[in-house]
Structure 1
Amino acid sequence: MNIDHLLDPAYACFLDEPASEWTLDTLPAIRARIHSGFKPSQATRCEQTWVEAKTDSPPVRVCIYRPQTAPQVDGLPAILYLHGGGFVLGQPEMADDYLDNLAHEHQAVVVAVDYRLAPEHPFPAPLEDCHIALEWLCREASAQGIDPARIVIMGHSAGGGLAAALALWVRDRGQFQPAGLVMIYPMLDHRTGTPAAPADNPATGTLSWSRQANRFCWDCMTGEHPMDDEQAYLLSPALATNLKGLSATFMCVGALDLFLEEDVAFALTLARAGVPTELHVYPGVPHMFDLCPGRQTEQCAQDVNAALRKCTERSPPG
């Protein structure tokens, strides 16, 4: 389907994006091209630390962003941030300026997780790393000047999918109740872009993020894990049948994004489970639209910041 007429003219740059074939052979070049745009670690605005795991997992690197001037309170809110990249690329440095701005905008400590990447480290390794970082954040909250009751889990794209899976993991183990869950165009359903997809909207997935890229990245993340076992919903959160007890959730997605159908479906499942849910669908924009200037990008930033303020505001005493 030709969807040019549906695209917001401010985002016409997506029409000029060259198509990429995602394979194991092309992945190194794709990684190199995208990672070359990141700031080098020594130039970022964060503190770096390595979190030791209690299991056999290797230490996890986290990047910590703090507001330059912190209010005189007992503890700051915190945002555990999980980056995007289709599970196969990326690191916290890809969002350095954004994360630094989040810390200042919300007077919050932002902890970004450098989780292991597929296909070298398929499920459950990336999720385990996120869990290790969250456990550390809760355990070290006082030492880090954080209020443990105001920790939000947040992620873009694949990081949004990991955020949903992490929220489900800690709910099921009775470990922790996040102050909120904030997901920007999250990657939730391994079936999207395949014949098994619950819905296939021809108006989506033509620009920015293709069905072929999605299938490849999910194959990398899945590895040899069976999709019919009891842990499959932690790999592909769209498979979760019980979302009760999750924290208040904010979700947003573009109307031309390949993830539109799965994100709307997940939001409806949340709402039916009695979870306070806020969903925004922005017209005329594809996946990763917020990397380009335009009215929808400005609206998305306003909506995300409003959701974060709601999640991190201090509860009144008593």
Structure 2
Amino acid sequence: MPVAGNFRLFAVHVARTELLTPGMLRVTLAGEALDGFVNGGCDQRIKLLLPLPGQEEPVLPESGVDDGGWYAAWQRLPDRWRPVMRTYTLRAQRREAREIDVDVALHLAPGGGALREGPASRWARGARPGDRIGVVGPAVPNAGGVEFRLPDGAGHLLLAGDETALPAVGCILESLPAGLPVQVHLRVADPADRQSLPTAADATVHWLHRGGPELVESVAAAALPAGRGYAWIAGEAAQVRALRRHLVGERGMAREDVEFMGYWRRGRSESDPAAESEEVGPGQRVGA
């Protein structure tokens, strides 16, 4: 677990938003404070501190935010002021521009209807340039909150997840060496939510849609190359656990070669006490 001081609170504002697909909105955040932000990897977890209903901007804690005590400072705020907290993957950082991108899944049902919209996706829909929020992120190298570490001996890669995993998957694919065999299995609401995923790797992308096969079914039907592989899977917790069991129990992958993250849990939000008890360090997400 990261030591105190690895993560701190950054005060930022919305620079712009971009609708990537009907189900994914990119929010670009900016601010001078981001001079001290240190991205640690392709699936770097961060937290957004968002305004409560009726607020124009969140009430951010003032003490303990620069020495790793941001969480205790957030907890000390009265309920009527405490900002909504949600965990997301950093999609990109542009140091010179003092900007970061966060892609927010809007959780739409096929046809465009809201499926399980939470406070973060509602906030993102209404975000406008100049809106202020807080971001808890890494302030030193190797701060933690990063799981993707491709082993030197891995001859092929498997990536799998739902729409909440798309930002990390996109970033991972961009980072891969040329020619590496990669299978990607992604489940989104409908075909309109597919994204372009450029990579130098030899990647095959399988797009799944609601009402069709689950991730486990798609991966189980796929042939994996021989030799040592590495898997990174993320999304709804129950689906992720089922897929990990398949890879380890039926495909014979070593446990240490399967990285898995429950980004959200059906019926739970990150503010639920039961969800908070599952949190690991500053980032294991449970809801949006």
TM norm. shorter chain > 0.5:
no
TM-score interval, smaller chain: 0.3 to 0.5
Structure with greater proportional helix content: 1
Which structure dedicates a bigger proportion of its chain to strand?
Answer: 2
Which structure has more relative contact order (CA 8 Å, sep 6+)? It is 2
| TM-score of the aligned structures, taking structure 2 as reference length | 0.34
- Normalising by structure 1, report the TM-score: 0.32
